[in-house]
Structures are given as structure tokens and as C-alpha cells.
A and B are shown apart, each in its own frame.
Chain A
Amino acid sequence: IAGITQAPTSQILAAGRRMTLRCTQDMRHNAMYWYRQDLGLGLRLIHYSNTAGTTGKGEVPDGYSVSRANTDDFPLTLASAVPSQTSVYFCASSDSAGPLYNEQFFGPGTRLTVL
């Protein structure tokens, strides 16, 4: 089934630990995105990638890094997790880069708790 998968579904993590959230899409979309969803704040963009090999910073990039080695995968890494990174993380993709005339497709989300 075409779409976006994320792993893990949920995770409890000790502060200071390193964690990588995985995202894979099979729609051959150029652009991919990572958002975090926090109560009262809506979806906020962490990092994005217009195409394989390029990445860019979103609204809240600090404490996170991404890579885009190929079209399908866009992992998000927390180098040293802190409790303020407790959130639900959504990966998304879009069949365009630059002006967003095309919709974004979202993965099922990863619920991360940092203790």
C-alpha cells in the first residue's frame, strides 16, 4: 500500500539518549518534512528536504538533525534527548519542492516521551 511509514509508533526515552525516528515513503515524492505536534501549538516544522541530498531548517530545528541520502528515507535524529522534546512527530511528503501547490501526505506519527 502506497504511503508513508514511521517507526517506532511510540517510544519512551531517557534524557540524554540518542534516538532516530524513521520515515519512509514509497510515492517517489521529492520533498519530505518533519513536524512536531504539541498541544495548543499545532504542527511546527522541524526540518525539511526539497530533494535527495538537500535539507533545510524549519521553525524549530534546534536539537534535531536530518539526512536525505535517497528519495524514500528521511530519518530524524535527536542527538541528546531532553524532556521538552516530548511530542508527537509527524513525517510528511509532497510531490513538489518550492511553492507548495501540491498537498502534503502525512505518516501515522511517532509518540515520543523523554523522561
Chain B
Amino acid sequence: ILNVEQSPQSLHVQEGDSTNFTCSFPSSNFYALHWYRWETAKSPEALFVMTLNGDEKKKGRISATLNTKEGYSYLYIKGSQPEDSATYLCAFNTGTASKLTFGTGTRLQVTL
């Protein structure tokens, strides 16, 4: 079983703060790293799919970087807003099958 770890488990920031969290994954047999945003009482929604070492992706105030050689990805949120409150999941694919292994997520709460 592949081990995908996310840290911190939870984070509480003030509106306007910038924040980042980490996803660690096995560096061997890498094919893709996914980031999902999961709001309470909703379904996970994809943010990014990253495949190349050194990849950087951006969507609005959210961006992500990927280091496949050392096995980690960072997700950054610039100027956090209350609507950013959600659990952020990363998931890892080795490419040997259509399987994603998910981390347990980082729960972000942004308050006014």
C-alpha cells in the first residue's frame, strides 16, 4: 500500500493570510499527483493534476508545485478568504492501474 502523507492535518488562519501545505508521496514509479478541494457536505473537486517534475500550476489565488525526485508537492493559497475553507486532498498515481491513493487531507479554516 502506497503511503501518501499530508501535513498539517488542520490549519486555522485569518482572512488575508497566505498559507501552504505539503503532500509527501513515494518518489518511485511516479505518474501523476492530483490535488482536490473538498468543501463540507459537497464532493471533492479537482484543482490540479501534475505530472512533470518542477511543474507549477495556478488557479486564481491557489498554486501548486511538484518535486517528483524527492516526493513532495506544495499547495499555496495567497490571501486566504473564508470561501477557501475546505479540506484539501492530494492523491498519487503510479500509472500501473487506474488507481489513486489519497492522503487524509489538510483541513483549512479561514476566519474573518
Contacts and interface: CB of A to CB of B under 8 A. Distances in A.
Given A42-B103, A42-B105, A100-B34, A90 B43 contact: yes
Question: In the complex, which range does the number of interface residues on chain A fall in?
Answer: 20 to 34
A103 B34 contact: yes
Interface in B44-72: 44-46, 49, 51
Nearest to A4: B43
Given A106-B44, A107-B43, A99 B103 contact: no
B97 interface: yes
B43 A100 contact: no
Contact of A45 (B36, B100, B105): B100
Interface of B: 1, 31-32, 34, 36, 42-46, 49, 51, 89, 91, 93, 95, 97-105
